[in-house]
Structure 1
């Protein structure tokens, strides 16, 4: 197979200025509802891109857990690579790709930790195994073998039983959007791209060339 010959011609939908809402969060919600109702698998999976203090980019998939005018939330270990990078440079980019709808959304903005109460709320909604996992994994650190994780899991299960508290090193972040781009695939690579930028508290919409 020649990789260069792999291509898809996008023809499902269009994206015009007359079709979108003036508020970027409301527009995201409209697309989100369509994606959910399209039964896309792992619809909340998104790429999180961060940059370290020395300018080196990093990216990985995380899961969206909530969104509002206050930001787009995800949860992780604060001591992980992404946590350390966000402490050094508190800006990030999120990317959703919903291939079934031939759509992409890119969100950029400043990142802040959510409140302890919000982190508690989400943590205690998780299954017990996931809560133990937050204690068991020294995320992003080098470990000798898989057995280290299994031994940690056994230890914390015995220590906490069913009453598993949230570790101080684990919690949520919110990406507070400064720009949101909506991308709709079109035929012949002449895609539709509408960019919302937040200017003095108001969303401005501009069309970008594909």
Structure 2
């Protein structure tokens, strides 16, 4: 088995238009970006937590091309947190890479972590170049384990959230029910609902505890 490596890539804000993310980036920058954390990411879409200093007008969010659905889940006077699904069809899919996670966003651009073999990561960077994204490699080293919001979840909670995302539970309108998730995992629907509620609470606690003022 090849050694697992991690590359931290920086994509400049001027190149985000090629991914259809320039509108989202502009809206988030104007509102004041405090933190971005991906929760589940598969292929070219994922569920992301975005914490901003100020809220964004609802109508503007609805018009942002990458956002499939969104929900404002926290507004405590010191910042506003959004849970949303982002779809980036232009993003090449590295089939063999283990993970690809958004690590952060600021006024200069976005930072992405790609974990996999050295060969897989190199192919992923090349594919980004093919769609006009010249990512700068900020760090390339042995992978030392995850440090992401999903670490705040139990193994079962991560499994339930992942299956819920795959089946379309978080889509608007929803294309899956707790009963569908329960059938997939051989659990009771009430158990699935409890796992989803606790998972969301743990994720918010993690985000606010680690990044709050």
Q: TM-score by structure 2 length?
A: 0.27
Structure with greater Cα Rg: 1
Q: TM-score by structure 1 length?
A: 0.27
The structure carrying a bigger helix percent of its residues is 2
